[in-house]
Structures are given as structure tokens and as C-alpha cells.
Amino acid sequence: MTMQPEPGQADVPLVSVDLPATEEEAPVLNVDTEALLERLEEEDGLGRRTWVIAEGYIPSESTGPAPAMTSHETACILNTGERAAEIEITLYFSDREPAGPYRVRVEARRTLHLRFNDFESPEPVPRDTDYASVFRSNVPVVIQHTRLDSRQPPHALLSTVAWNE
């Protein structure tokens, strides 16, 4: 079957496809989906390409020896794939335009514990300010969020898995 454009439509090349008349005439593809998924997982790795940490806050005060007990936010990034992960991070705020992108690289089959306190370019992460972060990677990764709040001697540590798409 060949279709022609309607009068007034741009000249767009159209495709002619002959479909089987019945389901019995349709070709059968024998695909081992488990093997295919395992192969893709080995090549690309576990995880997703987009991650969101909707809650972020770095206290300006800390108690205890630095740097171990300095209040901080951390993104723990795992790359199980065969290629390096090139990741861009954008920070969103309640009262100003976003900051970023911050760029990091996680080599193949490696992990990186990335402290937001250490971000410098394009700008440091402001202290005592609510923010959220979006991570976009060229390959699937897994991201976990951790915060150490050491403003008071009984320190608080929390950890969550980020939302992924």
C-alpha cells in the first residue's frame, strides 16, 4: 500500500509496508529475552540514567574533627557498566535560578562518594539553604543520598535511595 500526501502537505517521503493479512502469517521472532537483558545489563550496567534527590541541605555548623565529622551531603554513585559514566548535576532552589551543571566522571565498574560540600565549579553549594538535585548520566548508574548533620554532638546520619526515571 502506498500513500500520497494530501494537497497542501509538505513533500515527505512515505513508506509503503505490506502487512500480513492474518496473525498466523506474521513472522515469529525467537528471542531469548533473559539472555538479551543479561547482555544489556553487562554492557550498560545496573541503574538508570536520570536520578533526583528532592531534599538537600548542608548545615554551616559542625562538631567533631574535620573532615570526617563535617556536616555534609553525599551522593554515592555506583557504575557497574563497562563504560565510564559522564554525569551532569543541576541544583534547584526555592528562591533563585538553578546552579550547574556540575560535572563528574565515574569510571566503569567503580563507585564515587561525592560530597556536595566539595562542589566549586560553577559555584559552591550554599550552606543553610534548601535545594534539590537532578543527575543525568550517559550510562545507567545507581545513586544513594546520605547526609551527616553534626551540628550537635549526638550526630544525625540519614540515607535514602534517590528517585529514578
From 90, 55, 86, select the one nearest 73 (Cα to Cα).
55
* Domain-embedded: residue 28: no
Give the per-residue pLDDT at 57.
78
* Domain-embedded: residue 39: no
Give the per-residue pLDDT at 115.
87
Question: Which CATH number do you get for residue 103?
Answer: 2.60.290.11
* Domain-embedded: residue 90: yes
From 75, 72, 57, 59, select the one nearest 145 (Cα to Cα).
75
Burial of 140 (0-12, 13-18, 19+ CB in 10 A): buried
Give the per-residue pLDDT at 88.
98
* Domain-embedded: residue 41: no
Give the per-residue pLDDT at 1.
45
- Per-residue pLDDT tens over the stretch 39-64: 655 568 899 999 999 988 777 776 66
Give the per-residue pLDDT at 83.
95
Give the per-residue pLDDT at 150.
56
* Domain-embedded: residue 1: no
* Domain-embedded: residue 29: no
* Domain-embedded: residue 76: yes
- Per-residue pLDDT tens over the stretch 65-78: 666 666 668 899 99
Report the DSSP beta bridge partners of residue 35.
none
Residue spans of the chain under pLDDT 50: 1-3, 12
Domain count, the chain: 1
| CB-CB contact of 47 with 11 (8 Å) | no
Q: Which helix (H) or strand (E) holds 156?
A: strand 156-161
Domain range for 92 is 47-164
